[in-house]
Chains A and B, each alone.
Chain A
Amino acid sequence: MSDLLAQVPVTRLPPEGHYGPAGTEGVRARALEGLAAATLAARKGGTGALIARLTAAGLPLVDGPKVLFHEGLTVLGTGPGRWLVFAENTTGPALLAQLRALAGDDVALTDQSDANLVFELTGPAVRDALAKGVALDLDPRAFAPGDVATTVVAHVGVTLWACEGAPTYRLAVARSFAPALLRWLTPGAAPFGFALSGTGRG
């Protein structure tokens, strides 16, 4: 097993830096701090009405595991009638207010800004590294930009979505599980050359 992380406390994120063979960068991961997040859930029997209302407001929600990008919002389908929304350059309360104005009063909205940590994963070997723990077919024919999957990686629940551009994924993980997830990813990605950023000194 790798001793790359032998000096890193198990409860802390691995520090940013380069892991694995020098001069190679097969996988890059960046922690995206400061995103606002919220869950949006239809009331019982209200999914159709919510989708109609948001579609009329210019946000054509899909009741499925798909991602929608709309005016700075990333809307991820996580279950029937349920979505997880991320937004940059805003706050949780402001995001809630924005979603409340779009969706009306008859939906459940909850601030999740503190709940998740999001990583952006890219690089030519990103799929090879993810394949060590993601039991999904990530080939673009099966998991194309716009697709979302809520699944489990190394016993840690994650929501993963494919972004546009040479293989790029984003992954949301419950914040307190992020150190465990990175302790899975770092040794797995290091053989390809792994550049980790956004985690500071760990």
Chain B
Amino acid sequence: MRIPCPYCGARDAHEFAYLGDATVSRPDPAAPDAEDAFFTYAYLRDNPDGEHREYWYHANGCRQWLVVTRNTRTHEILGASLARASEVTA
């Protein structure tokens, strides 16, 4: 599996460390339902069939967090962007 790092170019997956779901975002700790929201945020994950956005860290390359879109059924990589940039545009 090769991941197209926006900085380094296409690299083998063994250069990366996998974190997981990039679709969840940290809840507001001051919200009245913060306890439930944090439980969901920390522990509950969907197990999607098909396209999924997930965090990969390019540990043995540019040392950046990426958001990679991967098809969980075929392992086809449909795209990758820097997580820091995507935080701005998300």
A80–B62 touching, CB < 8 Å: yes
Q: Which residues of B contact A151 (CB under 8 A)?
A: 8, 11, 15, 60-61
A152–B62 touching, CB < 8 Å: no
Q: In the complex, A201→B82 CA distance in Å?
A: 45
Q: Is A130 an interface residue (CB 8 A)?
A: no
Q: Which residues of A contact B84 (CB under 8 A)?
A: 80
Among residues 75 to 132 in chain A, which have CB atoms less than 8 Å away from a CB atom of chain B?
A: 78-80
Q: Size of chain A's interface in residues, with CB distance under 8 A?
A: 11
- Residues of A contacting B: mostly: strand
Interface residue range, chain B: 10 to 19
Q: Which residues of A contact B82 (CB under 8 A)?
A: 80
Q: Is A67 an interface residue (CB 8 A)?
A: no
B14–A150 touching, CB < 8 Å: no
12 contacts between A and B (CB under 8 A): A65-B9, A78-B62, A79-B7, A79-B63, A79-B64, A80-B62, A135-B11, A149-B8, A150-B60, A151-B8, A151-B61, A152-B15
Interface residues of chain B, those whose CB is within 8 Å of chain A, are 7-9, 11-12, 14-15, 60-64, 82, 84
Interface residues of chain A, those whose CB is within 8 Å of chain B, are 64-65, 78-80, 135, 149-152, 157
